[in-house]
Amino acid sequence: MKPDALGWLSGVQRVASPNYDARPPYTPIDLLVIHNISLPPNEYGGDAIKQFFTNKLDHSEHAYFAQLKGVRVSSHFLIRRDGQIVQFVPCNKRAWHAGVSIWRGRSRCNDFSIGIELEGSDFEPFTERQYDALVRLVRRLRRTYPIGDIVGHSDIAPDRKTDPGPFFNWDRFSARQG
């Protein structure tokens, strides 16, 4: 995995999302935000996440999808349950993953962060393959960007978000980081 000039990583699946824009000029990318997502909730596999991040979700396919109509979000990366990494937005662009957020007194975390979604939920553990892929991805990103902090979505938007959730093992992740 090596990023090109725009921030697309080699060796990962690429599914381009339209849900991004330019970062503010001269803004270092120094925060990494970990999320979880499953569509429909607590169900894994399938293409619903890809369809959601590319604005192609069939809202009639599942009752839950109706509430996502008109929502335009993305993330830089998704790590599937089997460890497959999918990239939706080049790292040098601002993915729409954090929403209203603040970290260390800085608001608008999308401006200076990279978002990584783990396929999962707040209700069960993530897989070993996901942790392995996450560690590899974070190591690669840290070689390229001045990432100083790695946080959960719940850390930057505590009043509205809970992910990556209570089953994300921060100690395991930190130990594997070295």
Q: What global pTM score does this model have?
A: 0.96
Instruction: Give the Å distances, CA to CA, from 139 to 6, 13, 91, 147.
Output: 18, 18, 14, 10
Mean per-residue pLDDT of the chain: 96
Residue type, 103: W
For the stretch 19-68, pLDDT in tens is: 999 999 999 999 999 999 999 999 999 999 999 999 999 999 999 999 99
pLDDT tens-digit readout, 107-117: 999 999 999 99
Q: Which residue has the tokens 């719940």?
A: 154
Distances, alpha carbon 15 to alpha carbons 105, 140, 149, 167, in Å = 33, 19, 26, 27
**pLDDT score of 166 more than 80:** yes
First to last CA, the chain: 19
pLDDT at 2: 84
Tell me whether residue 119 is one of the annotated catalytic residues.
no
pLDDT digits (tens, 9 = 90+) for 96-134: 999 999 999 999 999 999 999 999 999 999 999 999 999
User: Using 50, 70 and 90 to split pLDDT, how confident is the model at 3?
Assistant: confident
In the chain, the domains with their CATH numbers are 13-177 (3.40.80.10)
Distance CA 101, CA 90 (A): 21
Catalytic residue among 43, 61, 117, 119: 117
Which H or E run contains 31? strand 31-37
pLDDT at 178 over 90: no
For residue 8, what are its two tokens? 């697309």
The DSSP-derived string for 102-124 is: EETTEE-GGGGEEEEEEE--TTS
